[in-house]
Chains A and B, each alone.
Chain A
Amino acid sequence: QKEVEQDPGPLSVPEGAIVSLNCTYSNSAFQYFMWYRQYSRKGPELLMYTYSSGNKEDGRFTAQVDKSSKYISLFIRDSQPSDSATYLCAIGLGTYKYIFGTGTRLKVLA
């Protein structure tokens, strides 16, 4: 079993839709949870991070962590064509070393 599992997609949605991206993980010791956005042929950029169960909101983005189920989600409201990218979840232990999911390719259609 992989330490982090993420549906690779691709996921196509119409503009304005709510997008739900998910990852599951196997090690309950993981403490830190991040979401990165990566445009084609670019480095990842940090979108959201959290270290506790529950929701964290930043503009149109909401990160959700359920430690009991070992499940994390990223919701994007009012999705825009500019949101089209690959979204990577990253999970870390008590250090700065991250394990990345495979990424979900998202396409928002105008």
Chain B
Amino acid sequence: GAVVSQHPSWVICKSGTSVKIECRSLDFQATTMFWYRQFPKQSLMLMATSNEGSKATYEQGVEKDKFLINHASLTLSTLTVTSAHPEDSSFYICSAYSGSSYNEQFFGPGTRLTVL
């Protein structure tokens, strides 16, 4: 149990286009989902926290108009990178929290975004 999927796993796009990444909790309902960004050989940096049915809370320095987050249901959150640029190329990882205990934050496999 406790499986989180992400789609797509790898995406390459042209500069200026928008890319949508989906995060799904497959066998549990996630009250909260998190989006992280990870640059090569660096740690996970929390970008935003999203709760189902409400607006996401963004970390300092993260542009909310550039990284649109929609948490439409208890099993799905989407991250849209708008007008992507090469500096947005990174590994984006989501995690889902079931709310039952502090340690139950399950991570997806990540999405590698390359912007040309």
Please report A residues at the B interface, Cβ cutoff 8 Å. Answer: 6, 8, 32, 34, 36, 41-46, 49, 51, 88, 92, 95-98, 100-103, 105
Residues of B participating in the A interface, judged by any CB pair closer than 8 Å: 4, 6, 32, 41-46, 49, 91, 93, 95, 97, 102-103, 105-110, 112
Residue picked from A6, A44, A49, A100, most chain B C-beta under 10 Å: A44
Hey, which chain B residues are within 8 Å of A34, CB to CB? 103
Give 13 pairs: A residue, B residue, CB < 8 Å, sorted on A: A6-B43, A32-B102, A41-B91, A41-B112, A43-B4, A43-B6, A43-B110, A45-B107, A46-B106, A96-B32, A100-B43, A102-B42, A103-B42
B103 cross-chain contacts in A, Cβ below 8 A: 32, 34, 46, 49
B41 touches A8 (CB 8 A): yes
Within the assembled complex, what's the spacing in Å between the Cα atoms of A46 and B44?
Answer: 14
Q: How far is the CB of A44 from chain B (nearest CB, A)?
A: 5
B44 near A44 with CB under 8 A, answer yes
Complex Cα spacing A81 to B44, Å: 24
Distance between Cα atoms of A101 and B42 in the complex (Å): 9
Contacts known (A8-B41, A46-B103, A103-B43); A96 close to B97, Cβ less than 8 A: yes
